[in-house]
Structure 1
Amino acid sequence: EIARFFLSFTQSESCGKCAPCRLGTTQLLEILTRITQGKGRIEDLQNIRELGETIITSSLCGLGQTAPKPALSTLKYFLKEYEDHILENRCAGATCDSMVISACQHSCPAGIDVPNYVAAIASGKYEKAVEIIMERNPFPAVCGRICVHPCEFKCRRGELDEPVAIRSLKRFASDWYFDHIGKAKEPFAVTKDQKVAVVGAGPAGLTCAYFLAEMGYAVTVFEGQSVAGGMLGIAIPEFRLPRKVIQAEIEHIERSGVEIRYNSPIDARHTVNDLLEEGYHSVFIGAGAQSSKRIDIPGEEEGLVGIHYGLQFLTDIRTGKEIQLKGKVVVLGGGNVAIDVARTAPRVGARDVQIFYRRTKEEMPAWEKDIDEAIEEGIVINPLWAPKQIMHQGGKVTGIEFMRSMTVFDEEGRSSLSVDENVTQVVEAETIIISIGQAPDISFLSKDSQLERALWGSLVVDENTLSTNIPGVFAGGDFTTGPSIIINAIASGRRAALAIDKYLKGEKGRVEIVDEKTAMKEDIGLALDEETEEERPRIKIQLEKPEERVTDFREVEKGFSKEEAHREAMRCLRCDLEEK
């Protein structure tokens, strides 16, 4: 869109004395306009390159010699965005109006019809709101708590005052739904002869299973644990995501017709190939990223008392293992797991918890809301410190030494991390919890598996269809991307379901996922008045008091009341109703 805007200006300034400039920029503008309207073709990319270079080399003045450069440079450095516009009909910036029904819906990886479910909430139609959400996402209550809401970052209301609290509205409607209705009306009917196996009962796997069941397939999910939910069920702390919330949605999926076989791992003894031989016509692998990364510094020894790994630490607590910390705790890392670990530690006895992160606080990948809540609970964050060695004595941790880290830039402006070994500090600690990231664990695949591995430890899949090199086998979610946000896993699971459906029907080609404009203002009963566009601040979510909530695992965030939900939903500007 930026390249098109620049070219529209320069094209109008062309004097017309040379054809390459006058006619060439006109043709280039037509191509870019077509792409921003969602009508582009993949061959347009090569046409832009060739046409742009021709204009530059054959124009007689500086205007023609420079006009194509924004198009060429954006194509060079943002090729993925061009491809997404053409192949996926997606504009990451939600700025191409012809492609975007509403910025919130377009920015949601799952493409949930946000304006209509918000309008349904404003009208008091809570069941209708949840039905709209579940058209794309079978985990509304979970996402109402832990989704990082990319939709809100693009909400046009934010240009007026503050974005609509979309995530909190989702939580309100889904909590009402499970309190008052809860059960699936009836299981989806099995109308297809083929059956599908899903490996892993995490968000991606269960989403894939749910939508395949909706399409009429018999689906069996193989889960190695005794509980479903993946990271939702065994790692995210109770104070962020209560077990009863996860369980309600898992039971809803099961009642919809999905069979989950617990304590049924797929491994070297029962392989993916075995599933195909047992009569499953397709297999989706959604095994997640549940392997903690090591930090590989001196002192990180097996069996050393006081060293924990973030994911296992959270899993042990979530599954009921008795863990009691004491004294000083150091957490290494800056992601969501590190923050969850740090906030959990005081709840199991730690009296002094510090996070050390090698980059700046602003660069921490954890959700900003959770970082703020951690600080409220007394967690100290120390940025720009890299671990050097773990100190220990008599088989027990005594502390850890850090080096000052810094960001440096090369001549081309690329950043990298450097350390100053002359600036160090030693921090005393009885416990060190390493939370520097997770990775997919493919050890469950048999050694003779023909599935093609990626260099970084997962499987090679087609970006659009999520198909592997073995016909009928698909993979997605964190298992193929590495740790990501829950809505990405859900979107991946639904994409896989659509791809598997095409495969089982014998159809070829890309999976097309588009935003749909499914309702108009009168359909949902929302009366828009002039007050909607007046400045009305976002309703703040109430939290439990920090000094009280750190004593147990009660849910920290409180939901909206009916009156608050109505007022917040009425702030929606209904961008989807604009004439495009």
Structure 2
Amino acid sequence: MIVTSGLTLFGIGLGAAGILGIASKLLYVKEDPRISLIEDNLPGANCGGCGFPGCSGAAAAIVAGKAPASVCIVADADTSKAVAGIMGQKVIEREPELAIRDCTGGIRAENSFHYEGALDCRAAHQLYGGSKTCPEGCLGLGSCVRACPFNAIHMSPDGLPVIDPEECKACGNCVDACPRGVITVSGMSAHLLHLNQTTDCLAPCRQKCPGQINIPKYIQQIKEGDFDGAVMTIKERNPLLITCGRVCPRPCETECRRQFVDDPVGINMLKRFVADRELRSGKHLTIPCAQDTGRKVAIIGGGPAGLSCAYFLRRLGHSPTIFEAMPKLGGQIRYGIPEYRLPKADLDWEIQGILDLGVTAKLNTKFGVDFTIESLKKEGYETFFLGIGAWQASGMYAEGEDLGGVMGGIEFLTAHALGQKPEVGKHVIVVGGGNTAIDAARTCIRLGAKVTLMYRRTRAEMPANMEEIIGAEEEGVDFKFLAAPARVVGDENDRATHLEYYEMELGEPDDSGRRRPIKKEGSEALMSADLIIPAIGQKPDLSCLYEDGDEKTCQFETTRWQTIVADEKTFETIIPGVFTAGDVYTGPDLVISAIGDGRKAARSMHYFMQQGDIPIPETMQTEMIPYTLFKEIDQVERQNRAIMPHLCHGDDRNCSFNEVEGALSQEEALAESNRCLQCGLICYDKNNTFDDRSLIGDAFKR
């Protein structure tokens, strides 16, 4: 019986072996040898971060064409190259990426209710969006920590996730786990291309900045003594920080929450401090650029908008060439802003930093004369940026303003900047109340003339920067308010000798919100002058757009203000592939506005070349976010705002073009940076105090 059973089992086994042998011949699947070769080159972590079941699964997916050679998030570039070599592919190195947290709330953001559910952000988010009063901020329950397979995230005592850049593999698991979008995975190009969104952690100052600079971040870096880091943060949005540190009217400071405690933080003073620190070092910090794309881009106009556009396109890997009609780059920041406000040697140094990235410049080259868009297309340029500025002075609409001795404000400042030494005589009348009028008046003072600035409203309505108005007063400019020009009176040689003007009175507010000036009948009077400078506005000179001077042949759509029409979100004109920004698009505006719009145009040009369509976020921030604009700031100690030092005083200012204002000292900058409340959307630092010795001492040690 036992023998029979054994023989039966042996026969069954022998039969099964025979069947399997036959099946192996019929059903044999030969494994691609590349799978084992690729698996041997992978690190063997089997972490699953790539989305496949272990390294063997990833290797099979690569061979099957379901995953790229760079699928492994743990491996380095050499591994990707080895895998690509096995597959007969070429690896193009991509920018390194990291997970980044965009929230500063944490325990600073109060709870609207007590949550006793599962300790998971996703679960909490399902209940009224979570317990935090901030609708966009971190919920603090650590879902991202648990989702990370590399232990690259931990929760800080402040209730915020902290990401270890050494351990982060940019797998994106944390992004998937966060229901608020607080964490993103991105690299340098993504930072440069990002537009402010209402879901971002935007302090009011950051919402107001036309350049979208991350103001709280760079101020925090200054506070920590990381001055180079602050420069790099600013340069993610603004390549002309030396210039803006001197001429920006600081719209960001009008929304600073600190003003509801004492005075706004000196945001622009701090920008100037770190900008001047880099300048005085004599060496530009290294600015990273993406891998070259080989795409040629034409930048027509080398003012702040064109320089900004070229800078960001270069950083995105493209090859921009600036075509500039003037002898040097800079546009109106070179030819319209006097030396005492912006030393041109400093501007040269700043512009050189942009050119050193690989930006080409062709000077003394006029659009419409030396080249056209069509001629550039034949040379291989793919996209075009039109930033020709607003160089044409508006008239006074007064009889006789075409006489000799009448010179427009921007015309006068440009002539002086070019060294042409316009004659000012003994008495100059400047008409206008903006920055150009103030700059012309203070320049004439330095040239030895007595200056009267005539403005049709009162001092309170002047649009010029208050510091510039005060500076003009200190230097001896006489102000003639509530007066408007009627006609220019000339001599037998058709040269101006007097300006006839009317006295005015203020009526009801106009569209600008300022009270409308009304002429007083019978109030005409004469004022003698050797030079009359109308500085009441500027507009673009669009003659370069017309073929043979015929306005009907202009390819662009223009407005009655002589500006070019473009899409307000993409900055693309009616001609596909041609973009614009700066004063030729907006009319005369702030330098920082031109810089910010230049970056946005560069973003659109990048996407236009790379993929054809230009993505616009649905949640793009274009207006101030109402719920962030509260005025009740509790538990904050009052601290004095820093005072901008002056380099020139008294008579020294009136007889030279030396720079008037200086930069804060390091001690002053550290103290001022500590006044920042580090605001988020609704959170801010309470109990804000300052210990001079500990803070300054720590920063000096760095």
Query: After TM superposition, is the score higher than 0.5?
Result: yes
Matches within 5 A, 1:300-449: 300-302=401-403, 304=404, 306-350=405-449, 352-395=450-493, 396-409=495-508, 416-447=516-547, 448-449=553-554
Equivalent-residue separation in structure 1 for 2:496 and 2:197 (angstroms): 50
Q: 1:279 to 1:537 in 2, by over 3 A?
A: same
- Checking the alignment, whether the CA contact within 8 Å between 1:332 and 1:338 is kept in structure 2 is yes
Offset of residue 192 of structure 1? 1.3
- What's the secondary structure of 1:459's corresponding residue? coil
Match status 1:142 vs 2:255 = no
Offset of residue 501 of structure 1? 1.1
Equivalent-residue separation in structure 2 for 1:326 and 1:292 (angstroms): 22
Offset of residue 397 of structure 1? 2.0
* Residue 570 (structure 1) aligns with: 674
* Residue 187 (structure 2) aligns with: none
- Checking the alignment, whether the CA contact within 8 Å between 1:268 and 1:446 is kept in structure 2 is no
Q: Could you tell which deviates more after superposition, 220-229 or 422-431? A: 422-431
Q: 1:406 to 1:278 in 2, by over 3 A?
A: farther
Letter in 2 for 1:132: T
Offset of residue 269 of structure 1? 4.5
Show CA shifts across 1:436-479 (max 9, x none). 11101111113244222223212111111110111100111111
Show CA shifts across 1:408-444 (max 9, x none). 3399999644312311221111211111111011111
Offset of residue 191 of structure 1? 2.2
- Checking the alignment, whether the CA contact within 8 Å between 1:532 and 1:572 is kept in structure 2 is no
Matched positions, count? 473
Q: Higher relative contact order at CA 8 Å, sep ≥6: structure 1 or structure 2? A: 1
What RMSD in Å do the two structures reach over aligned CA positions? 2.6
Query: Of Structure 1 and Structure 2, which has the larger fraction of its residues in helix?
Result: 1
Matches within 5 A, 1:205-354: 205-302=306-403, 304=404, 306-350=405-449, 352-354=450-452
Structure possessing the higher radius of gyration over alpha carbons = 2
Q: 1:170 to 1:444 in 2, by over 3 A?
A: same
The counterpart of 2:639, out of the listed 519, 536, 554, is 536
Offset of residue 209 of structure 1? 0.6
Letter in 1 for 2:241: P
Equivalent-residue separation in structure 2 for 1:472 and 1:296 (angstroms): 38
Equivalent-residue separation in structure 2 for 1:571 and 1:357 (angstroms): 37
Q: 1:268 to 1:567 in 2, by over 3 A?
A: same
Equivalent-residue separation in structure 2 for 1:294 and 1:560 (angstroms): 40
- What's the secondary structure of 2:544's corresponding residue? coil
Offset of residue 262 of structure 1? 1.0
* Residue 664 (structure 2) aligns with: 560
- What's the secondary structure of 1:576's corresponding residue? coil
- Checking the alignment, whether the CA contact within 8 Å between 1:196 and 1:283 is kept in structure 2 is yes
* Residue 526 (structure 1) aligns with: none
The counterpart of 1:180, out of the listed 281, 306, 323, is 281
* Residue 546 (structure 1) aligns with: 650
Give the TM-score normalised by structure 2.
0.64
Q: Could you tell which deviates more after superposition, 209-218 or 113-122? A: 113-122
- Checking the alignment, whether the CA contact within 8 Å between 1:141 and 1:249 is kept in structure 2 is yes
Letter in 1 for 2:255: K
Q: Could you tell which deviates more after superposition, 113-122 or 186-195? A: 186-195
Q: 1:408 to 1:244 in 2, by over 3 A?
A: same
Show CA shifts across 1:511-562 (max 9, x none). 34968xxxxxxxxxxxxxxx99321110111222132211100101111111
Equivalent-residue separation in structure 1 for 2:286 and 2:561 (angstroms): 43
- Checking the alignment, whether the CA contact within 8 Å between 1:207 and 1:493 is kept in structure 2 is yes
Offset of residue 391 of structure 1? 1.5
* Residue 195 (structure 1) aligns with: 296
* Residue 610 (structure 2) aligns with: 505
- What's the secondary structure of 1:391's corresponding residue? strand
Stretches of structure 1 lacking an aligned partner (at least 5 in a row): 1-29, 31-35, 39-87, 92-97, 516-530
Equivalent-residue separation in structure 1 for 2:582 and 2:510 (angstroms): 37
Could you tell me the percent identity over the aligned residues?
Answer: 37
* Residue 490 (structure 1) aligns with: 595
- Checking the alignment, whether the CA contact within 8 Å between 1:188 and 1:257 is kept in structure 2 is no
Give the TM-score normalised by structure 1.
0.77
Show CA shifts across 1:140-179 (max 9, x none). 1111010011111111111111111110111110111122
- Checking the alignment, whether the CA contact within 8 Å between 1:495 and 1:511 is kept in structure 2 is no
Show CA shifts across 1:189-218 (max 9, x none). 552132110000000001001000111101
